[in-house]
Amino acid sequence: MRTRFYIALTLILAVALPAVAQQKQGVAVTVYNGGYGVVRELRSLDVPEGGVVKFTDVARRIDPTTVHFKSLTDPAAKLLEQNYQYDLVSADKLLRKYIDKPIEVICEGKQYAGMLLSFDSRQIVLKEAEGLTMIQRADNVRDIRFKVLPEGLLTRPTLVWLVHTAKPGKHMAEVTYQTNGVGWHAEYVMVVNADDTAADLSGWVSFDNKSGKTYTDAKLKFIAGDVRRVAPEPRSREYRLGLAKGGEAPMEEKAFFEYHMYTLQRPSTVADNEVKQLEMFAPVSGMKVIKKYLYDPLPGLRWYGGTNTSASYGVTSPKKVRVFIEFQNSKENKLGIPLPAGKVRVFKQDPEDKAMEFVGEEQIDHTPKDEKLELYVGNAFDIVGEFKQTGFRVNTSGHWMEEKIEIKVRNHKKEDITVRVKQPMHRTKEWEITAKSHEHKKLDAFNVAFDVPVKADGEIVVTYTVEYRW
């Protein structure tokens, strides 16, 4: 009977053990697009009778107003006070702390000992037994010796807490805070096939850590979306690159509030002043794409209100024809996943030596699934556009004007193409195309497009007449 009692008691105690006994120390970081992140640490702390705890090794760019402390050992424990101490050791800070205190200065071939009276970037003034000594710093001083580290100077940023608890001793604590100096963005690599009808796509997360802390074996999450935050700090530009090992499992993606969360399925170490790249999703192969050409001779021109009757308004134009790679972000097109904002770099293989050559890049915004993307990758070398105003009449008393336009597109390529010619109706709110050589599409209230086929080594001429009224 006694043996059974002991076994039963052991089982009861095992079940009754608090979850904290199973908690492991560790760190997790959730990174946002805006240059900040949330750090969560589980750490074993010694909480003495007086309740003063020093929590060291926090991010140098911590926002101390966001700290949240929770003891898993004693949930009733409270944080009564917090001080963020960041007066880290430096040579001048040590000297400042040692004013009117003894130090030793080691120079080339001589040693000085005395009371430090003052210092600047050029010299140190000591009061020795024989009198005052001025020591030139420059290349003369080899070493300065101090007896102890003065009170108030730290080697690492530290949170100093006053914790109220009925259970002093070892505590497993969960500490959460925000830090600036971390950020992430997506990087995509697209490789188009020989005839530009299909492409492979891979995606990477670039995690930029300038927070002043190394995160060892951290659980990493990345939030994609426009999260509102008041006055975030600007990011630093300096970085080192650390590339994650290949062959690792991609991230797990899920909807989270009004954003999307990407979680790395393994711990990873990210050093301070490092950019680490991590695979975001399994590479997609054979995705359908379409190469498109756009001639927009009046880019950015639109109706700004009022009426513009000047014949010379909007008659100068570039000759460049832009090239786009278009694809549908859908499951049917082997993709269909939320794509965070980032840069898409496009490559194509040279059939001669099989080398991947860069052909352009585009910055995309956060893009949900089942949306179409158009990547502007460059300007066509062998396609030329030409825009000309061939007629203009205005009748101010009758409140109308008429403009005639001629657009030429020349194709010097060896294959037939289709070029979209975009035109703004930019002079007044009311307009109508009264004559045209080709059918047009109305894109919106003030823009139309002509999709025109152009033969190899051929030319197409588009003409139209538009009447404006006010």
468, two tokens? 């404006």
DSSP tag of 331: G
Q: From 113, 130, 145, give the residue that closes a domain.
A: 145
Does residue 457 sit in the same domain as residue 378? yes
**Mean pLDDT along residues 320-330:** 98
Q: Is the model's pLDDT at 169 over the cut of 90?
A: yes
CB-based contact 38:30 (threshold 8 Å):
yes
**Mean pLDDT along residues 88-103:** 81
Does residue 455 sit in the same domain as residue 407? yes
Q: What is the pLDDT of residues 240-266, one digit of tens each?
A: 333 344 444 479 999 999 999 999 999
Asked whether residue 42 is assigned to any structural domain, the reply reads no
**Mean pLDDT along residues 326-349:** 97
CB-based contact 249:266 (threshold 8 Å):
yes
CB-based contact 349:190 (threshold 8 Å):
no
Distance CA 172, CA 42 (A): 7
Minimum mean pLDDT range among 143-152, 279-288, 399-408: 143-152
DSSP tag of 445: T
Q: Is the model's pLDDT at 152 over the cut of 70?
A: no
pLDDT of res. 313: 87
DSSP tag of 19: G
Asked whether residue 124 is assigned to any structural domain, the reply reads yes
Minimum mean pLDDT range among 133-142, 261-270, 390-399: 133-142
Asked whether residue 23 is assigned to any structural domain, the reply reads no
Does residue 272 sit in the same domain as residue 317? no
pTM as predicted? 0.77
CB-based contact 253:281 (threshold 8 Å):
yes
pLDDT of res. 314: 82
Give the burial class of 411: count Cβ atoms within 10 A of its Cβ; 0-12 exposed, 13-18 middle, 19 or more buried.
buried
Question: What is the gyration radius of the CA atoms in the chain, in angstroms?
Answer: 34
Q: Is the model's pLDDT at 411 over the cut of 60?
A: yes
Does residue 310 sit in the same domain as residue 444? yes
Does residue 238 sit in the same domain as residue 213? yes
Minimum mean pLDDT range among 275-289, 297-311, 358-372, 398-412: 297-311
Q: Tell me the CA distances in angstroms from 240 to 34, 190, 386, 445, one per residue in order.
A: 20, 24, 46, 48
Residue length, the chain? 470
CB-based contact 178:40 (threshold 8 Å):
no
Sequence-distant contacts of 108-115: CB under 8 A, at least 24 apart: 108/140, 108/142
Distance CA 101, CA 239 (A): 41
370: left (phi over 0), alpha (psi -120 to 50) or beta: left
Phi first, then psi: give them for residue 91, nearest 5 degrees: -60, -45
Phi first, then psi: give them for residue 71, nearest 5 degrees: -90, 125
| H helix or E strand, kind and range, residue 80 | strand 78-85
Does residue 315 sit in the same domain as residue 389? yes
pLDDT of res. 85: 77
Does residue 138 sit in the same domain as residue 98? yes
Q: What is the pLDDT of residues 215-236, one digit of tens each?
A: 999 999 999 999 987 764 444 3
Q: Is the model's pLDDT at 145 over the cut of 80?
A: yes
Closest C-alpha among 18, 54, 85, 40 to residue 163 = 54
Asked whether residue 247 is assigned to any structural domain, the reply reads yes
Asked whether residue 309 is assigned to any structural domain, the reply reads yes
pLDDT of res. 250: 74
pLDDT of res. 150: 64
Handedness of CA 410, 411, 416, 419 (dihedral sign): negative
Closest C-alpha among 88, 81, 26 to residue 51 = 81
pLDDT of res. 17: 39
Does residue 426 sit in the same domain as residue 465? yes
**Amino acid identity of 376?**
Y
Q: What is the pLDDT of residues 425-447, one digit of tens each?
A: 999 999 999 999 999 999 999 99
Does residue 274 sit in the same domain as residue 298? no
pLDDT of res. 268: 95
Distance CA 365, CA 356 (A): 26
Domain with 407, as residue range(s), is 289-329+372-469
Domain at 117, CATH number: 2.30.30.100
Total structural domains in the chain? 3
Q: Is the model's pLDDT at 8 over the cut of 60?
A: no
Q: From 124, 145, 166, give the residue that closes a domain.
A: 145
Does residue 422 sit in the same domain as residue 383? yes
Does residue 382 sit in the same domain as residue 461? yes
Does residue 434 sit in the same domain as residue 454? yes
Q: What is the pLDDT of residues 19-63, one digit of tens each?
A: 444 568 999 999 999 899 999 999 999 999 999 999 999 999 999
Q: Which residue has the tokens 């979209």?
A: 420
CB-based contact 31:268 (threshold 8 Å):
no
